Chains A and B, each alone.
Chain A
Amino acid sequence: GENVEQHPSTLSVQEGDSAVIKCTYSDSASNYFPWYKQELGKRPQLIIDIRSNVGEKKDQRIAVTLNKTAKHFSLHITETQPEDSAVYFCAARREYGNKLVFGAGTILRVKS
């Protein structure tokens, strides 16, 4: 089955700096890769996703890149702000499947 590894497990950055979180997946049939953000005490919320026919997607300060050959995808947050502090989860889904396989999560701390 699919296995998703996520690094780093914790990340501290200074406000205004960029943050990058990387995930690798094992199943070459996976074709959908969402990122969820979970603030302290709150539910996970989708922040951005990418499909395997696209190499990069941006939404304001957030971007996701996908390298299908290497089977890895990354979340990039630019100009980080204190409200970006949260746990971020990557996930992968097989084509036409219902299930997502999640990474272990990255705790991002933005220091002001």
Chain B
Amino acid sequence: DVKVTQSSRYLVKRTGEKVFLECVQDMDHENMFWYRQDPGLGLRLIYFSYDVKMKEKGDIPEGYSVSREKKERFSLILESASTNQTSMYLCASSSRRYRGLVRQYFGPGTRLTVT
């Protein structure tokens, strides 16, 4: 069974702090994603990575950066946290090995509050 884990379930940070959210998957998946989930807006893609050291911007990358130094780990970085980044952050992973097999497996989420 695929396991996607996230470093924290709840996080409270102050405005201006640098915030690191980590995601680890154990299925050797090539693709990893970071979403934020807000009521009424669904899941919006921040960044994704299709290989180690590779990344692509999603729909809302402003204020975020990412790092993928190892295949199993994908980090989301808020360089200077702001209150409008208070949200639920979800990590996901998927395989690229099989054509069309694009099921994404999600982590449990990190609820970040920026005060």
Contact = CB atoms under 8 A, between A and B. Distances in A.
Nearest to B31: A98
Given A43-B108, A43-B109, A98-B48, A93 B102 contact: yes
Given A43-B90, A98-B31, A98-B94, A104 B40 contact: yes
B64 interface: no
A63 interface: no
Q: How large is the interface on A (under 10, 10 to 19, 20 to 34, 35 or more residues)?
A: 20 to 34
B38 to A, nearest CB: 9
B42 A100 contact: no
B90 A44 contact: yes
Interface in B41-75: 41-45, 48, 50, 58-59
A103 B4 CA distance: 22
A6 B43 CA distance: 12
B78 to A, nearest CB: 21
What does DSSP make chain A's interface, helix, strand, loop or mixed?
Answer: strand
Contacts of A29: none
B103 interface: yes
B107 A104 contact: no
Contacts of A105: 40, 42-43
Chain A CB count within 10 A is highest, among B43, B59, B96, B106, for: B43
User: Top 6 nearest A-B pairs by Cβ distance?
Assistant: A104-B42, A43-B106, A102-B43, A102-B42, A44-B106, A105-B42
Interface of A: 1, 6, 9, 32, 34, 36, 42-46, 49, 51, 89, 93, 96, 98-105
